[in-house]
Chain A
Amino acid sequence: DARVTQTPRHKVTEMGQEVTMRCQPILGHNTVFWYRQTMMQGLELLAYFRNRAPLDDSGMPKDRFSAEMPDATLATLKIQPSEPRDSAVYFCASGLVAGGTGELFFGEGSRLTVL
């Protein structure tokens, strides 16, 4: 049963520390998305990639966030330095968009707490 895998599931860190979240998209999917969810803002789109190339990262705070896809099986979201306001659940999603149904498959999320 294919699924999007995210690590870590939970992370507690102190302000100023670097945080890296990883995502393994479903094999064969060509588009990967990063979302962030908080109670106040709901689900926000941070960035997304098509065939490993960044399409849009306008939703990310540029000074501290970076997203990459070093290869087709790995997407990373890095925060450096982390701040308490970055506390949220971060979701990765993948899909076969071009010529596909447009359905996105979401991972179970990485819950980040920055103290």
Chain B
Amino acid sequence: DAKTTQPPSMDCAEGRAANLPCNHSTISGNEYVYWYRQIHSQGPQYIIHGLKNNETNEMASLIITEDRKSSTLILPHATLRDTAVYYCIVSGSSGNTGKLIFGQGTTLQVKP
């Protein structure tokens, strides 16, 4: 599975959009981009995933560049409860083993 690169930390003001970048320049054609987050002391929580089209759900939006070498997770109106470590993971197709290899992620601090 392709490796990802994320900034170690970011700040965001409460109520503003949080834009978390991820580079995955070695992604292959059948690999998906997944985003999970881990709030302190809890298990990781699924946010969203996509292949090449932009995706949106009730939690966030995922923007994937046309060449698929990078993506951005957007939390449209960040709240204090969104403070967490956010992991961008590239993994085989959904019909594959489904295993996820976590990196160090981005620690997002939402400030009042």
Q: Which residues of A pack against B, CB within 8 Å?
A: 4, 31, 33, 35, 42-45, 48, 50, 55-56, 91, 93, 95, 97-109
In the complex, how many residues of chain B place their beta carbon closer than 8 angstroms to a beta carbon of chain A?
24
Return chain A residues, CB-CB under 8 Å to B44: 43, 91, 93, 104, 106
Q: A103-B49, A104-B36, A107-B43 are in contact. List 11 more A-B contacts (CB 8 A).
A: A4-B43, A42-B102, A42-B104, A42-B105, A45-B99, A50-B97, A91-B44, A98-B95, A102-B34, A106-B44, A106-B45
Q: Is the Cβ of A99 less than 8 Å from the Cβ of B95?
A: yes
Q: Is the Cβ of B97 less than 8 Å from the Cβ of A93?
A: no
Choice from A43, A98, A102 contacting B91 with Cβ under 8 Å: A102
Given contacts A93-B43, A108-B43, A109-B43, contact A101 B99 (CB under 8 A): no
Would you give the shortest CB distance from B87 to chain A, in whole angstroms?
Answer: 8
Smallest Cβ-Cβ distance to B38: which chain A residue: A43
Q: Which B residues from 51 to 104 make CB contacts under 8 A with A? A: 87, 91, 94-104
Q: Is the Cβ of B43 less than 8 Å from the Cβ of A91?
A: yes
Smallest Cβ-Cβ distance to A111: which chain B residue: B41
Q: Is the interface of B mostly helix, strand, loop or mixed?
A: loop
Q: Is the Cβ of A45 less than 8 Å from the Cβ of B100?
A: yes
CA distance A64 to B23 in the complex (A): 37
Would you give the shortest CB distance from A87 to chain B, in whole angstroms?
Answer: 15
Smallest Cβ-Cβ distance to A106: which chain B residue: B43
CA distance A44 to B99 in the complex (A): 11
5 smallest CB-CB distances across A and B, nearest first, come from A106-B43, A97-B98, A102-B94, A43-B102, A103-B46
Return chain B residues, CB-CB under 8 Å to A42: 102-105
From B44, B91, B99, name the one whose CB has the most chain A CB atoms within 10 angstroms: B99
CA distance A109 to B41 in the complex (A): 8
Return chain B residues, CB-CB under 8 Å to A109: 41-43
CA distance A93 to B44 in the complex (A): 9
Provide a sorted-by-A list of 28 A–B residue pairs whose CB atoms are within 8 angstroms: A4-B43, A31-B98, A33-B100, A35-B102, A42-B102, A42-B103, A45-B100, A45-B101, A45-B102, A48-B99, A55-B97, A93-B43, A97-B95, A97-B96, A97-B98, A99-B94, A101-B94, A102-B32, A102-B98, A103-B49, A104-B44, A104-B98, A104-B100, A106-B44, A107-B43, A108-B42, A108-B43, A109-B42
